[in-house]
Structure 1
Amino acid sequence: MNVHRYSSAMALILLALAGCANSSSDSQKNSVPAACKIRGNSADSVICMTSFTSVLADPRHFDGMTISMGAWVESVNDVVIAFPSQDSLQLRDSFSSVVVYHADNPKVVKFLAGLPSSDPKFVRITGVFHWIADDAKDSRANPIDANRVGVMERVDVSL
């Protein structure tokens, strides 16, 4: 009788462990970086509210996600370049910057044109982030993207 009790207990433990293993693999598929505070009411409008520093720390976790972060932005020729700090902007630290193309993001151009001067501004940028991997063989990157962390598309800007 004790053997039956022990085998039943062992079977329950194995089932519980198997259930935990499946749930952890499901959560990894839909994982959201810990640095995200999710905003949105539906699956279509989920935005990861994060910091630029978090994106710089591990950009692969944010690749393809709609993110929103504070950034210092400056319009240069046909692009907007976003930096995590005013210091990195003044140093033109390309390794810690993200590119936003005017042609792909007319809202950004309109927003920047409405500001009183062309000086760099601290804004909140929201859009789809695409990481430029260092070892990407078939990168979509243009020459301006060299050494940058990534590119943002479908961007909206606010103060």
Structure 2
Amino acid sequence: MKRYRASPLLLTAALVLVAGCGVADHDDAALRDGDCWHVGNRADRIYCATTYTQLLAHPERYDGRRIQIQGRAAAKDVIEVYPSLDSFEGNEIQASLSLRSGDRVPELRAYLLSPTRVDSASRVVVMGVFHLNRTVPVGKRRGVTLETTRLGSLELDDFKL
């Protein structure tokens, strides 16, 4: 009977393949192909342009990232952005974002409160850093506010009307 000796390189390659079999292909918080396309012309302001549907489906993937998203904005105590006019009119807070900080927040607020506007919630494209609100565990309802029920907030860098 003839004996074969496996080379150390072949054994190493086989071990790497076997070890990789149990590893998940994707991290849940990692961006995947199709989650966004990158836009921007400044090195410090490249945005992951995505849809509101993608953001609602997988908000953890965008947490802490610069995003660009289109929605409907209205100025109340804070500027709120909703996925659609129906969502705004239905007061779907859990799908909304609040815009609290950023140099252009006063400018957007002035536009949204302008008496010449006809829409109750204007179409807007907002760009900034997204922060996901963490869900409040059941039974721990003592700190629940309107803000903690929102999808999250956006540190506004810029906007387009």
TM-score (norm 2): 0.73
Aligned residues: 146
**Equivalence for 2:88:** 89
In the alignment, structure 1 segments of 5+ residues that lack a partner are none
Whether the aligned pair in 2 keeps the contact of 1:127 and 1:152 (CA below 8 Å) is yes
C-alpha separation between the residues in 2 aligned to 1:29 and 1:145?
A: 25
Q: Equivalents in 1 of 2:47, 2:144: separation in Å?
A: 26
One-letter amino acid matched to 1:135? V
Q: Is the 8 A contact 2:124 2:160 kept in 1?
A: yes
Structure 2 portions without partners, runs of 5+: 138-142
- Name the aligned partner's letter for residue 91 of structure 2: R
Higher relative helix content: 1
Deviations along 1:12-45, whole A, 9 cap, x unmatched?
6326638x95xx89x8599324411123467643
Counterparts of 1:157 and 1:31 in 2: how far apart (Å)? 26
Give the residue type in structure 2 aligned to 1:3.
Y
For 2:36, the equivalent position in structure 1 comes to 36
State the partner residue of 2:154. Answer: 152
Q: 1:146 aligns to what SS in structure 2?
A: helix
Question: Any idea what the Cα deviations from partners look like across 1:95-132, whole Å, max 9, x if unmatched?
Answer: 1111112xx23413213424642731111111111111
Aligned to 1:129: 130
Q: Identity percentage over the alignment?
A: 25
**Rounded Cα–Cα distance in structure 1 between residues aligned with 2:110 and 2:94:** 27
Kindly tell me: are residues 42 and 80 of structure 1, through their superposed partners in 2, closer, same or farther at Cα, counting changes over 3 Å? closer
TM-score normalised over the length of structure 1: 0.74
Match of 2:140 in 1: none
The CA RMSD over aligned residues, in Å, is 3.3
